[in-house]
Amino acid sequence: MKVISVANRKGGVGKTTTAINIATALAAIEKKVVVIDLDPQGNATTSMGIKKEKHQKSTYEILIGECKANQAVIHTGVPNFDILPSSPDLAAAEIELVDMDKREYILKNTLKDMESEYDYAIIDCPPSLNLITINALVASNSVLVPLQCEFLALEGLADLMKNLNAIKRNFNHNLILQGIVLTMFSRQNNLSKMIEENVRKYFGDKVYNTVIPRSVRIAEAPSHGKPILIYDFKSVGAQAYINLAKEVLQREKEI
């Protein structure tokens, strides 16, 4: 099982959208995929049309060691696509984790139970660098960074790279940057184009060729409980995510 974290310390940059659509594209080509929703807001869970039930096991119980990862699995309506749902309780997990033994490795250790069942685990990270995100990055083979083309995006990216390198040094020597994807891109917008140029200049081929356009259809899809790939397969947004998934797979082969 390859584990890919979708991470950025900023909120609203397209992490969740990217996580569930890459998962859908991989599932469509018969890869067994599990999305791990580590954001207390649970947007990946609700975007897949899954309600947060009181008695449902979630990534909270997994992280504090109250259940095993495979006990929380929910099948989504998409074949080959399972999810470990989030719960609002996850917001408290951070504090509870602090006193635990090997607190950075809890997710990594619990995912061992699922190794043989899935080809890919895609982790939807919260918008911060807390212990939950550290658990995600320690459990991952690679990290995929969605970047919204906006003012100060590059500064945020430089900070994120420092954080990733620190995690690599201290906890997970093998962690690789899968790539950076530009999201919510507007061709008409000069700032978007300028930022794209800069990001490509500094990060070179770490930036995927595929750019995700700003699209109303992508924004609508979650309210229908579906990834854009299923909500409107022919839309430019869906096609962009298919192309991105191809690049992700290609890089997985090279890694």
Ligand X SMILES: Nc1ncnc2c1ncn2[C@@H]1O[C@H](COP(=O)(O)OP(=O)(O)O)[C@@H](O)[C@H]1O
- Residues interacting with Mg ion, by CB under 5 A? 15-16, 43
Q: How far is the CB of 213 from Mg ion (least distance, A)?
A: 19
Q: Figure out which of the listed residues 14, 40, 42, 85 binds ligand X, where binding follows CB under 6 A.
A: 14
Q: How far is the CB of 202 from Mg ion (least distance, A)?
A: 25
User: Within 125-184, which residues bind ligand X (CB under 6 A)?
Assistant: 127, 183-184
Q: How far is the CB of 146 from Mg ion (least distance, A)?
A: 10
Q: Which is nearer to ligand X, 28 or 228 (CB)?
A: 228
CA atoms of 209 and 200, how far apart (whole Å): 10
Q: How far is the CB of 169 from ligand X (least distance, A)?
A: 26
Q: Which is nearer to ligand X, 15 or 32 (CB)?
A: 15
Pairing relationship of beta strands 142-148 and 176-183 according to DSSP bridges: parallel
Q: How far is the CB of 125 from ligand X (least distance, A)?
A: 8
Residue (of 195, 239, 196) closest to 217 by Cα position: 239
How far is CA 254 from its chain centroid?
20
With binding defined as CB under 6 A, does residue 43 bind ligand X? yes
- Kindly list the distances between the CA atom of residue 102 and the CA atoms of 124, 134, 169, 240, in Å, as whole numbers in the listed order: 22, 12, 16, 39
- List the single partner that 40 binds among ligand X, Mg ion, none, CB under 5 to 8 Å by kind: none
SS3 of residue 148 by DSSP: strand
CA atoms of 5 and 138, how far apart (whole Å): 10
234, with CB counted inside 10 A (0-12, 13-18, 19+), is exposed
CA atoms of 238 and 218, how far apart (whole Å): 8
- List the single partner that 141 binds among ligand X, Mg ion, none, CB under 5 to 8 Å by kind: none
Q: Which residues here bind ligand X, judged by CB under 6 A?
A: 11-17, 43, 127, 183-184, 212, 214-215, 218-219, 222, 237
